[in-house]
Amino acid sequence: MIYQIYPRSFFDSNGDGIGDLPGITEKLDYVASLGVDGFWVSPFFTSPMKDFGYDVSDYNDVDPMFGTLDDFDAMVERAHELGLKVIIDQVYSHTSDQHAWFKESRESRDNDKAEWYVWADARFDGSPPNNWQSVFSIPAWTWDARRQQYYMHNFLSEQPDLNLHHPDVQEALLDVARFWLDRGVDGFRLDAINCGMHDPLLRDNPPAKAPTRNETRPCFMQTPKYNMCHDNMPQVLERLRAVTDQYGEVFTVAEVGAAEPLPVMKDYTYGGKRLNTAYGFEFLSTPDLTVDHVQEILAGWPGEEGEGWPSWAFSNHDAPRVASRWLQDLEHASRVRLIALLQFALRGNVFVYNGEELGLTQASVPFEKLQDPEGINNWPHTMGRDGARTPMPWTTDEARHAGFSEVEPWLPVDETHPSMSVAAQNDDRGSTLNFFRLLITLRRSLKVLQVGDLEFIDAPPGVLAFRRCYDNTSVLCVFNLLSDDVAWSPDTASDYTVVADVSDVGTAEALPATLQAYSGYIGFNDND
């Protein structure tokens, strides 16, 4: 179980309105109290912050707004004292246009780094080389007058794509990995790694299978067949795995934002010689929680020979908070707990985004305070990313911005969040925070929840039911996703004892014959 920390918004230790590495270190006792195995820190590297750290200008240093390398070392040391693993982002698909590599590459077509990025001549009419679109609602090509060529970028124009086909680029990135492994990190989350290789023939992407003019971004009007997910990427991942294996047990997880992520995730984790695990946006992007959708996603990982291991995130810094996407104005606390109960019952690793354990909803950020370029470009038609990135509420003190900072933070604290703060929930045994702690403890104590196989159980419409099995133990997992009660119980329900639930199931001597609306439970059976 991994806890994601968005450093800008976790805790401000020096009173500048921005979270930092010393702030993370100061709050690691809290992270350890959750019971998680470790935490993943989103980018803190030197950057002009056009995309809030995902535009790296120096892979091997800390941006001054977050602290210093000494601060990073202190964070790692404290984490290890507390038994926590430290995972950091690695952004290998692109850099900032302020990176020294790109500055050299754009100077001429024959310098040492001329081919380290993706350059191409204009068409005869001066237009870009092909029809590729970036995810930020602009073409994926920008003209550079110095080279008199276009350079490619799957994201902002300030984020030129690296040419990972070039062996020197691969070696330079492996050196980056070695730099951080030598400083004691325990793993890497590879950002947008499926965007790391392009089609060298620069073929046009085909139209989307179901094109529509109602999309908020033109990239969704085409199938991204050639600007990402190249067949050679697994070879690069094998080179990375060879490096990480030299450092012992190093955890690696890929973020795969592909149109059809399942085959890509399986490819990147196949055979035990690439990455440990991968996650996509199947849950992060879906607007509602349905039985059919969950079954479809889980069925893609049946545990076949050579198959990798999935990971599941319901919220993160790139997606609107799940409490707002899936709640639909229903009773907040119980539905948040039902969602958590489901996530911790799934077969695969669990990623929890900071604030998710508090049940935070998507913050309301007025247009004049938006920071995210994606949110600004698409306002007001999407929820944007700023609402998921607002400061972590530590206290109920609104004057001190819920305990995040002594000064006005870079994004405002939502007016509803102080009442859901750590201080407000920490000592309340019935709080959402302590329900998360219960689930984390349960999952750590039951091997069957960690690695057990999964088989679905036939259930009425709107009810999701499955069994996890390992050795001589099994757990029965049942979730009523409907707003109505359902009169149903599995045939084997009497064999199980409730160990976690949302509703009054846990107070009953036997599992219920009727499932309350938006209720669920995990039952345990030790056949020994």
Question: What Å distances lie between residue 76 and 37, 186, 318, 389, CA to CA?
Answer: 14, 9, 25, 23
Contact 7, 42 (CB under 8 A): yes
Q: Is 282 a catalytic residue?
A: no
Catalytic residue (choose from 63, 191, 318, 357): 191
Cross-strand partners of 521 = 478, 501
Please give the angle made by the CA atoms of 32, 37 and 39, to the nearest 5 degrees. 75
d(CA 19, CA 22): 9
Look up tokens 């996890």; give the residue.
468
User: How is residue 468 written in tokens?
Assistant: 């996890």
User: How is residue 147 written in tokens?
Assistant: 């080279």
User: How is residue 322 written in tokens?
Assistant: 């799940």
d(CA 103, CA 32): 42
d(CA 36, CA 33): 8
Query: What is the 8-class DSSP label of residue 16?
Result: S
Question: What Å distances lie between residue 424 and 372, 391, 421, 431, 433, CA to CA?
Answer: 29, 16, 5, 9, 10
Query: What is the 8-class DSSP label of residue 485?
Result: -
- Cα 367 to its chain centre, rounded Å, is 25
Asked, as a colleague might, if the bond just before 366 is cis with ω within 30 of 0, I would say no
Within 10 angstroms of residue 37's Cβ, the number of other Cβ atoms is 17
- Residue 269 makes CB contacts below 8 A (sequence gap 6+) with 254, 275, 276, 277, 278, 307, 308, 309
- Residue 337 makes CB contacts below 8 A (sequence gap 6+) with 432, 435, 502
- Using only C-alpha atoms, the chain has a radius of gyration, in whole angstroms, of 23
d(CA 321, CA 441): 23
Look up tokens 């992407």; give the residue.
205
Buried residues in 338-377 as b, exposed as e (16+ CB within 10 A): bbbbbbbbbbbbbbbbbbbbbbbbbbebeeeebbbbbbeb
Contact 392, 42 (CB under 8 A): no
- Residue 528 makes CB contacts below 8 A (sequence gap 6+) with 472, 473
Catalytic residue (choose from 20, 51, 186, 255): 255
d(CA 257, CA 50): 20
CA atoms within 13 A on the CB side of 483: 6
Q: Is 238 a catalytic residue?
A: no
Catalytic residue positions? Answer: 191, 255
